Structure 1
Amino acid sequence: MTPDAFIERYQDTEASERGAAQMFLGDLCDMLDVPRPDPPRAETRKNQYVFERRVDYPEQSDRQHGYIDLYKRGCFVLEAKQGSDAPAETESERLGVEEPTRRYGTVRRDRREWERAMQRAKNQAYRYARGLPATEGWPPFLVAVDVGHCIDLYADFARQGKNYVPFPDANAHRIFLEDLRDEAVRERLRAVFAEPLSLDPTRRSTAVTRQLAENLAKVAASLEEDHDPDRVAGFLMRCLFTMFAEDVELLPPRSFNELLERCRGTLDAFPKILDSLWATMDEGGFDSAIMEDVREFNGLLFEDHDALPVSGAQLELLIKAAEADWSDVEPAIFGTLLERALDPRERHKLGAHFTPRAYVERLVVPTVIEPLREEWDAAQAAATKREADGDDEAAREEIVQFHRRLCDVTVLDPACGSGNFLYVTLEHLKRLEAEVLDVLEDYGGQQALDMEGGYRVSPEQLMGLEINPRAAKIADVVLWIGYLQWHFRTHGDADRLDPPQLDDVDNIQMHETLRPMGDGAEPKEPVEIKRGVVCCSRYAV
């Protein structure tokens, strides 16, 4: 079945979900050129890819079991609903005349009610996934379908069942029927059916990040032959952030790359040119080197805009590094690899094991995100009750107050290293914030105002203590790279970023009172902690 034929067949579907879902999903498999589900077997554990897969709920007395609309082991749990594009009120309804043959499905596609129905479908898929035998594991995807209208994707590549989030992001997780004409969209759905873990973005970004760190290590080792390692590290951190800024268009596209290329014949001018650019990035304004206006970056990174002289070979290494796509760097491991690349004593560990993102999430999600999600569920329930009572403004205020609560959470890692745990925490907070703002948008009103005056999840909420000065600087850079990545993947442009691009909030601090556990040394003075915190520590304070 071609995409056009599939779309034409199902675009006006408004029957009951049970009547249309299996036919819709079977034809979807044909259109994607993936196998249809298998016939069910009497023994449940053998039903690896079937409609109506039974799951048991031993913890629920009122309902002993349920049936998954479509299940594929190791791939997804799918829950189907049926919405309707019918008007809010038909003529017959206004006149009190019954229409016994008219079916409206689960809910009319009025935005707020329909969105809630789709969220309930996702929640139902989650309950089914939770009821699966432990031997089958958590599926990487939950799928919510409005038959003939859209397919919503939620992923948990760590497969811990803790944090299914919109995939690939909150803006693109919903695939409408018309979107199926796009081959890239169809390929994404094929992967959900066949190789879901291939869609894990950290697989590609991890490889990219490791390669970038290896290239930086080569440049660092070469420069250290003539310069102090700490000075080299600062210089390269400014270089790499400039490369990142160029690739996410905080600087004009290829402006830094072309600047480096122009320096091939003017090596003597190289440090002066970079010093001038970084001084402009610190304060903002017109820069003569790239012949463009430059945003104000501020922050501690460009306060020192010292640039090192380089040889022709070293310049070529920098140009090669600049040609890579720094927007794909994986902040969850970047700090560790960058620390190894820039520290002569750690460089031999560059190819060694690092803490995978999934391990980091095993700590971050239960301690920080799950309690907040419980509060978010309570806020939504309270908003629903307020709305049912006819008080839309009070309902909206419940959501606003949770958003402000989210923006006031402070998380401390008192042995933060290069910031990997803090970054993962930040990303999950931003994911939750995106859900909150999406619900807030349904209520209308003054959502934009709630983003001003500090009401946004930002790196300022992530605090760290560290005894290694280089690691502390890296942690600060990692948090801002991750934050800016999130912004561009969510909004797609820099217009919504207020200057400066890097706030100097001093949230990653050096502190001499840190000592390794078991050292026996006593802290010199207490460490003052702001507001409420969650601590993850390898050290005593």
Structure 2
Amino acid sequence: MSPNEFIAKWKGGGEEKRDAQSFFDDLCRLVGHKTPREADPEHTWFTYEYGVGKAGGGKGFADAWMKNRFGWEAKSTGRDLKEAYVQLKMYADELQNPPLLVVSDLRTIEIHTNFTNTVKEVHRFTVEDLADPAVLRKVRAMFHNPDELRPGILRSDITREAARKFAGLAGTLRGRGHPPQKVAHFLNRLVFCMFAEDIGLLQDNLFTRMVEGSQDDPDAFEENARQLFRAMHMGGRAAFVPVAWFNGGLFDDDSTLRFEREELRVLLGACQLSWDQIDPSIFGTLFERGLDPSSRAQLGAHYTDPDTIMKLIKPVLVEPWLAEWDAEKSILQPLMDKADTKGSRRGESPSVKGARTTAFNQAKQRVADFLDRLRAFTVLDPACGSGNFLFMSLRALKDLEQRIMIEAEEMGVPRQILGVNPRQVLGIEINEYAAELARITIWIGELQWMIQNGYGARRDPILLPLEQIQCRDALVNADGSEADWPAADVIVGNPPFIGGNKMRSELGPAYTTHVRRLYAGRVSSGADFVCFWFEKAREAIVAKRTKRAGLVATNSIRHGKNRKALDRIKNGLHIFAAWSSLEWWDNETPVDVSLIAFGPSPSPVGLLDDVVVPEITSSLTPLLHHDIAKAKVLASNKGRSFQGVIPRAELKRAKRVRLGLDLPEATFNLDGCVARRMLQGPATPLGEPVASVVRPYLIADDITDRPYDRYIVNFGSRDMAAASMFAGPFDAVANVRLHREHMDERNDRESWWQLSRWRPKMVAALEPLTRYIAIPRHSKHYICAWVHPAVLPDSAVVVVARDDDAFFGMLHSRIHRAWALRQGSELENRPRYTPSSSFDTFPFPNGMTPDVSAADLEAMPTARKIAEAARQLVQARDGWLNPDAWAEWKDDVVAEFPKRVVARPGHEKDLAGRTLTSLYNDPPAWLTALHDALDQAVAEAYGWEWPLDDEEILRRLFELNAERQGGAANQAREEAEDEDDA
């Protein structure tokens, strides 16, 4: 069909029911595409009436739909297309969020772009306009290549540019000595003025004209701004232009700050941005950083992207309401069928008419009651930051309200006025900047929604006061008592990310000590900061002050002592939706998080990582036949695995900056050449050799990479007088004192020359051995290695006090690896091996537990088979790492220390590439075969067939753990976990 033929046929428009599909078929022919019936007889990707029966309404989701292209809604000529667009937009999720939403009255066509994170564009044209090739190309793109219509500007780009400009203005004003809060409040007013102007709430470009007219007259700008703010406070006039009543607390007075000419030019540039297209989901965070870059640094604030936020809001808020609405529609539809408001009335008896009226009134009242409940529904974010979760929750509630009213209207129930409002979202935020920005984010977000959906802004006032966004600590009151949270129907949010071992440095020792004491017995000692929010949300649900909760945490929430927060939730409640480890980008930095929705549920079935599972465990794994998070510490395993030493030589940089300290570098470490000169020096006046306090030092990279040739000064338990006898080593660590005197722990301050954690129990356990097993705590690959007993391990290494090959083989088997990494914690999406969880709970084969001696193991045929497989693996691996042609071994200056490997001349680069990480990145066939043989031997010791998948391995190990006696060892497990991460 040619454009002229199409125009001739349809320039007069048509009726929806009679002509809509014929019009669409002709549009397909116009652009050279098959019609839905020709292209897709199975109705799977291109069809009419897509979604009929799913929405519960009479029309279905869309009059036409093409997967990954568009949704199409048609009306009769002359009908308002706003309603068609609102309806189509409401069903965008069910339409799989196509990039284009198209509406038409069979004479006019509007193509609304719907690309993620782009500025929305509307292409509007009539049938006659299709004679223009440029317009016709847009219709072709709609069917064949929607990306041709993708807007070039991203909403996030506009928001970032706006934030950048205001960050510069904020810095200038703060540099003049204005209080930060006053600066932020003033700039927030300007931000809102520009937004209000672009959406038409400030008439005649009033604010931009005011800025333009004051470019060379800062005094005039200051006076004009005062006049405008006074008018926005209660309504009035500014520069003879009527100004509506805004206030809401933002325009509570007429105070201003002075801008000089250069700042006024920057402000004018900001006025040119499309403020109506600002993205509220990132607006608050970006402006918070700009207006006060340090405002949430101490709380580890992370920007949460909108898609991630909705993953939680849907199961916690949206889906329960939709389920209730589906149930309500099943009652409403029979009532409206009985009311039959469009049926014939001739000859109708009074009783029939009365029954019809009663049914109609009942249906109308039920819809009103349902909407009243929705309009009373509240959402709390107890760490709301700049309001992302609150804005997204409010938008979800408004979308629900609109959907309910449209679908009720389709049944014949008259539509009501909107009632969902910003007062339904409650927040707690400790930072004043963020709290005010949260209010602005909510205001802007609601106004955008109202205008985009054709409702316009409320009036008198335009901005509702939002006192329910409280500025206070969510955990502790000013008097030191535990803080209460306001009652709310659901709790959602992204609490601050601070590791348990960083709380003292980030939040201060006094606050950390107090909050841990206040929540003792409920939140594990040493748990991450976020765990306090999970516990308080759990308590609110149990106390029936809230129904459900959905919170974001770093993915360490599912491991170790942090997991106890989820264990408490699982004791009486269910985790009904979770994403175990999800990555998104925050300020160009990847952050790995877990999302967890929990509450009472009639069934343990849950959605885990978008897959329905029988139950979600506290380790955020599916419960198939076992929950290894409940495995017990085994008495036979205790006292064999240890975390290495923690030197703690330097004060953390953040604290140095906070205290204004300029301190020299300090360390307990020595480079190899320095240490060897020191080791060749004289003994102490009492005859002790330097080697008794200077030892080779092992970090995780020495195992996974190449040896770093590093030593450490370890005075053990010696007092300062005894330590100072070793003149060279004592002088080498002298700067440590300057740092330690500012540290929180008393022992660090008073015994500054000693390692912070020198692990005397570990040292005693390793002393009689000929070698020990070392495992990096967190590395790309799970690896075991043999280490000489004279070498002191760092805290990033877990050591096992055994020197027999059989035990090495059991630890390096796939059977132990599966258990250890599932039980261990996680750091930045890398598995972490922990003594208490990974080793102490592991059920070794019967008769081969850690309390059995090496000699007894040697007498067992299955153990000898494991030992031989382990020896072959280590020998082959060591031969690959340090081939004789490239490497040679040199004696240390101390005979009792291990030999050092060095590259032969000309082979330095060759040897540098030989690391265990590179070997396991792409394991050669010989390595795989040796590991297979080892795994087979270990499985034989258990009496298992082989191979088995990981889930079956875990199930069997869990059952074996349950058979063993945990005994008193379990009482010390939490303390051990605290030591793991000290």
TM-score (norm 1): 0.70
Change (3 A) 1:174 1:404: farther
- State whether residues 340 and 346 of structure 1, in contact with CA within 8 Å, keep that contact through their aligned partners in structure 2: yes
- State whether residues 381 and 493 of structure 2, in contact with CA within 8 Å, keep that contact through their aligned partners in structure 1: yes
Superposed CA deviations along residues 203-223 of structure 1, whole A, max 9, x for unmatched, are 732222122112222222222
Match for residue 439 of structure 2 among 447, 470, 476: 476
The correspondence of residues 63-78 of structure 1 with structure 2, limited to 5 A, is: 67-68=43-44, 71=45, 77-78=46-47
The correspondence of residues 136-155 of structure 1 with structure 2, limited to 5 A, is: 139=68, 142-143=71-72, 154=88
Shift of 1:165: 10
What residue is the counterpart of 2:832 in the other structure? Answer: none
Match for residue 171 of structure 2 among 217, 221, 246: 221
- State whether residues 142 and 154 of structure 1, in contact with CA within 8 Å, keep that contact through their aligned partners in structure 2: yes
What residue is the counterpart of 1:432 in the other structure? Answer: 400
Shift of 1:188: 7.0
Change (3 A) 1:147 1:236: closer
Shift of 1:257: 0.9
Q: Say whether 1:512 aligns with 2:512.
A: no
Distance 2:110 2:440 in 1: 40
Match for residue 524 of structure 1 among 475, 481, 492: 481
Residues 457-466 or 430-439, more deviating: 430-439
Change (3 A) 1:256 1:193: same
What is the SS of the residue equivalent to 2:40? Answer: strand
What is the SS of the residue equivalent to 2:427? Answer: strand
What residue is the counterpart of 1:387 in the other structure? Answer: 336
- State whether residues 233 and 247 of structure 2, in contact with CA within 8 Å, keep that contact through their aligned partners in structure 1: yes
Q: Say whether 1:51 aligns with 2:1.
A: no
What is the SS of the residue equivalent to 2:213? Answer: helix
Paired residue type of 2:59: M
What residue is the counterpart of 1:59 in the other structure? Answer: none
Shift of 1:10: 9.2
- State whether residues 141 and 155 of structure 1, in contact with CA within 8 Å, keep that contact through their aligned partners in structure 2: no
- State whether residues 208 and 271 of structure 2, in contact with CA within 8 Å, keep that contact through their aligned partners in structure 1: yes
The structure that has the greater radius of gyration is 2
Superposed CA deviations along residues 59-96 of structure 1, whole A, max 9, x for unmatched, are xxxxxxxx43xx2xxxxx53349xxxxxxxxxxxxxxx
RMSD of aligned residue pairs (Cα, Å): 4.3
Paired residue type of 2:159: T
- State whether residues 167 and 290 of structure 2, in contact with CA within 8 Å, keep that contact through their aligned partners in structure 1: yes
Q: Say whether 1:247 aligns with 2:210.
A: no
Match for residue 460 of structure 1 among 416, 423, 438: 423
Distance 2:36 2:229 in 1: 61
- State whether residues 231 and 245 of structure 2, in contact with CA within 8 Å, keep that contact through their aligned partners in structure 1: yes
Shift of 1:434: 1.9
What residue is the counterpart of 1:180 in the other structure? Answer: 109
The correspondence of residues 288-303 of structure 1 with structure 2, limited to 5 A, is: 290-303=239-252
What residue is the counterpart of 1:88 in the other structure? Answer: none
- State whether residues 276 and 448 of structure 2, in contact with CA within 8 Å, keep that contact through their aligned partners in structure 1: yes
- State whether residues 11 and 107 of structure 2, in contact with CA within 8 Å, keep that contact through their aligned partners in structure 1: no
What is the SS of the residue equivalent to 1:389? Answer: helix
Superposed CA deviations along residues 327-370 of structure 1, whole A, max 9, x for unmatched, are 1111111111111121133799xxx9943322221111221111
What residue is the counterpart of 2:219 in the other structure? Answer: 268
Shift of 1:200: 7.9
What residue is the counterpart of 1:397 in the other structure? Answer: 365
Shift of 1:239: 0.5
The correspondence of residues 22-421 of structure 1 with structure 2, limited to 5 A, is: 26-31=25-30, 33=31, 35-36=33-34, 50-53=39-42, 67-68=43-44, 71=45, 77-80=46-49, 116-119=57-60, 139=68, 142-143=71-72, 154=88, 174-180=103-109, 184=124, 190=140, 192-196=142-146, 204-226=154-176, 227-287=178-238, 290-345=239-294, 354-390=303-339, 391-421=359-389
Percent sequence identity over aligned pairs: 29
Distance 1:206 1:192 in 2: 24
Distance 2:435 2:330 in 1: 41
Distance 2:396 2:17 in 1: 36
Distance 2:17 2:244 in 1: 51
Shift of 1:533: 2.4
What is the SS of the residue equivalent to 2:200? Answer: coil
Change (3 A) 1:347 1:200: farther
Distance 2:439 2:151 in 1: 23
Change (3 A) 1:482 1:306: same
What is the SS of the residue equivalent to 1:209? Answer: helix
Distance 1:525 1:248 in 2: 43
- State whether residues 415 and 537 of structure 1, in contact with CA within 8 Å, keep that contact through their aligned partners in structure 2: yes
Shift of 1:439: 4.2
Aligned length: 442
Change (3 A) 1:420 1:306: same
- State whether residues 423 and 479 of structure 1, in contact with CA within 8 Å, keep that contact through their aligned partners in structure 2: yes
Distance 2:32 2:173 in 1: 53
TM-score (norm 2): 0.40
- State whether residues 419 and 476 of structure 1, in contact with CA within 8 Å, keep that contact through their aligned partners in structure 2: yes
Q: Which has the higher contact order (CA 8 A, sep 6+)?
A: 1
Change (3 A) 1:527 1:14: closer
Distance 2:13 2:237 in 1: 55
What is the SS of the residue equivalent to 2:383? Answer: coil
Shift of 1:264: 2.5
Paired residue type of 2:473: E
Shift of 1:498: 2.7
Change (3 A) 1:24 1:276: closer
What residue is the counterpart of 2:7 in the other structure? Answer: 4
Shift of 1:492: 6.0
- State whether residues 413 and 534 of structure 1, in contact with CA within 8 Å, keep that contact through their aligned partners in structure 2: yes
What is the SS of the residue equivalent to 2:470? Answer: strand
Paired residue type of 2:325: W
What residue is the counterpart of 2:761 in the other structure? Answer: none
Superposed CA deviations along residues 216-247 of structure 1, whole A, max 9, x for unmatched, are 22222222221333222111101010111111
Change (3 A) 1:527 1:207: same
Shift of 1:146: 8.7
Change (3 A) 1:270 1:440: same
What is the SS of the residue equivalent to 1:253? Answer: helix
Distance 1:297 1:181 in 2: 33
Superposed CA deviations along residues 131-187 of structure 1, whole A, max 9, x for unmatched, are xxxxxxx85755567999999784699x9769869986xxxx642212239963677
Q: Which runs of 5+ in 1 are unaligned?
A: 41-49, 54-66, 72-76, 82-105, 107-114, 130-137, 516-520
Distance 1:167 1:427 in 2: 21
- State whether residues 74 and 106 of structure 2, in contact with CA within 8 Å, keep that contact through their aligned partners in structure 1: no
Change (3 A) 1:264 1:297: same
Shift of 1:250: 1.5
Distance 1:36 1:371 in 2: 40
- State whether residues 412 and 535 of structure 1, in contact with CA within 8 Å, keep that contact through their aligned partners in structure 2: yes
- State whether residues 297 and 499 of structure 1, in contact with CA within 8 Å, keep that contact through their aligned partners in structure 2: yes
Q: Which runs of 5+ in 2 are unaligned?
A: 112-122, 126-134, 340-358, 496-529, 537-982
Paired residue type of 1:468: N
Shift of 1:313: 0.4
Distance 1:263 1:25 in 2: 54
